[in-house]
Amino acid sequence: MSHIDPGGQIGQKTPMKLYIKTFGCQMNVHDTDRIKEIMGKAGYESTDDPSKADVALINSCTVREKAWHKAISEAGRLRSRRRRAHNANHAVIGVVGCVAQQEGDHIFELLPGVDLVVAPDHYHLLPELLFDLKKDGIPRAVIGFDKGEPEDFLNIQSIAEANPVSAFVTIMKGCRERCAYCIVPTVRGPERFRPSSDIVREVEMLVSKGVREVTLLGQKVNAYNHAEASFVELIRRVDSISGLERLRFTSPHPRHMTAELTESYGLIDTLCESIHLPLQAGSDLTLKRMGRRYTAAEYLDVVRRLRAAVSDIAISTDLIVGYPGETEEDFEQTLRMIDEVQFCGAFSFKYSPRPGTRAAAVDDDVTPQEKASRLARVHKKIEMLERGFRKTQVGKVLQVLVEGEGRMPGQLSGRARNGQIVNFTMTGELPLREKRGCLMDVEITRANPHSLEGRAQ
């Protein structure tokens, strides 16, 4: 009798190799972890070397045009590498993620030689699809959205040994905000909420395996509102889990930053004193064109409430420059907002039209040169604020969750509650495995461009 391994290889007894290249946000990073676990149960082992892979997947992002191009280009490179190696019958190449949902079987026209296209809601089908592909060699595209039933949220069942300290937990899918420029509702579907009891059970499992910090994930995470619990009620339930030290969430929408939620900072012990709160623009006219459904004054009110709860809370943001219709005065209002909020970091981008969005039908009247100039001005201001924020940490004692070794020999590394990376020295010679996951008080002695340095107390 022929042996058929879980990965679908007839006569193959050794584990098959899986390579995944991930683009995009934390949601995609978490999805990659889900894929690895699903494929691991089917007999695959992960590899960082695409030349050794039996299956190579591109986990793609399409929020911006540049991200779309990166994913398509990487898939093209894998396809070319396979042709040069003359192993067309060996390595399977697949595109998963948001580009898969956006393009569907059109990817087979864009990139002849790609074998598999799978949207995020269908990752559980990957082993079955690969098995069928091995049998008949017919390329397959599986797209569309699930109904958001409890079983549709694929929770992580095991923890990679390399990083048992922190983990992401998905609490919702999709978005119905319909911002004019955003393709997320098209590629991630409508809002679907996971039962709070399932979320709590997953966090409890993660903590039992050594996780000390959890980040709750959702495209509009603070819009969570399941019949069992509101978002704040969910946070309280997670906070009560014994052994959990830290709790974060991303990405929230300013419109759903209720008074109850902002007051939770400083009251809920595990909730860290940092938040990534997308602004996008500081001009009310631009915000209205974007369909963001809040004003600059309303955003500032959220910031004031957050700082009333925790005076030194670290606030980072997302910014888009060069949106259609954005005048120099509109842009100057964004710069003034940056100064007023005093962000400690930002992801900032030039506007690029995404297919099927309302903004794509509007004349893109800001020149590429002006977009580049505005982005450079934003980057310069944000970099100055980042460095200034880090300098304010020198002399403070911060609680650091140890994640691994530091940049320099003899250093450990981790994150403070405010999200800053801290590399530090300590006395003693405990093995790293005994330090990982520990909370340590660290006196900050130096601010570097992208991290802090210190020594353990």
The predicted-structure confidence for 45-66, as pLDDT tens digits, reads as follows: 999 999 899 999 999 999 999 9
Q: 11-20, 121-130, 223-232, 293-302: which range is least confident on average?
A: 11-20
Q: For 16-142, which CATH superfamily applies?
A: Methylthiotransferase, N-terminal domain (3.40.50.12160)
Q: At what angle do helices 368-393 and 328-341 cross, to 10 degrees?
A: 10
Q: Report which of residues 251 and 25 the model is more confident about.
A: 251
Q: What is the pLDDT of residue 377?
A: 98
* Topology of the domain covering 283-391: Transcription Regulator spoIIAA (3.30.750)
Residue that wins the pLDDT comparison between 27 and 130: 130
Look at residue 204 in the predicted model and tell me its pLDDT. 96
CATH for 397-456 is 2.40.50
Q: 83: how many CB neighbours lie within 10 A of its CB?
A: 11
- Among 141, 121, 142, smallest CA distance to 34 is for 121
CATH 3.30.465.10 fits 147-272, yes or no: no
Which pLDDT score is estimated for 257? 98
**What's the CA gap between 76 and 79, in Å, rounded?**
5
Q: Where are the CATH 3.30.750.210 domain residues in the chain?
A: 147-272
pLDDT the model gives residue 8 = 44
> Distance of CA 366 to CAs 65, 260, 287, 324, 371, Å?
16, 40, 16, 6, 7
Rounded CA-CA distance 123/115 in Å is 15
Return the percentage of the chain with pLDDT > 90, whole number.
82
Average of per-residue pLDDT across 313-341:
98
pLDDT at 9 over 60: no
Pair of tokens at residue 47: 């590899």
pLDDT for res 331: 98
| Placement of tokens 């986990």 in the chain | 59
SS (HEC) of the chain: CCCECCCCCECCCCCEEEEEEECCCHHHHHHHHHHHHHHHHCCEEECCCHHHCCEEEEEECCCCHHHHHHHHHHHHHHHHHHHHHCCCCCCEEEEEEHHHHHHHHHHHHHCECECEEECHHHHHHHHHHHHHHHHHCCCEEECCCCCCCHHHCCCCCCCCCCCCCEEEEECEECCCCCCCCCCHHHHHCCCEECCHHHHHHHHHHHHHCCCCEEEEECCCHHHCEECCEEHHHHHHHHHCCCCCCEEEEECCCHHHCCHHHHHHCCCCCCECCEEECCCECCCHHHHHHHCCCCCHHHHHHHHHHHHHHCCCCEEEEEEEECCCCCCHHHHHHHHHHHHHHCCCEEEEEECCCCCCCCHHHCCCCCCHHHHHHHHHHHHHHHHHHHHHHHHHHCCCEEEEEEEEECCCCCCEEEEECCCCEEEEECCCCCCHHHHCCCEEEEEEEEECCCCEEEEEC
In the chain the first and final C-alpha atoms are separated, in Å, by: 64
pLDDT at 163 over 80: no
Give CA–CA dist 318/343, Å, rounded. 10
In this prediction, residue 338 carries a pLDDT of 98
For residues 187-212, give the mean pLDDT: 95
According to CATH, where is 3.40.50.12160 located in the chain? Answer: 16-142
pLDDT at site 5: 39
Contact 422, 390 (CB under 8 A): no
pLDDT of the residue at 153? 85
pTM for this one? Answer: 0.91
Band of pLDDT at residue 125, cut at 50, 70 and 90: very high
Is residue 432 scored above 70 in pLDDT? no
Residue 11 pLDDT greater than 60, yes or no: no
Instruction: Calculate the average pLDDT of the chain.
Output: 92
Residues of the chain with CATH 2.40.50: 397-456
Rounded mean pLDDT, 382-409? 95
Whether 206 shows a pLDDT value over 80: the answer reads yes
Range in 33-42, 257-266, 308-317 with the lowest mean pLDDT:
33-42
| Domain boundaries for CATH 3.30.750.200 within the chain | 283-391
Q: What is the mean pLDDT of residues 174-196?
A: 95
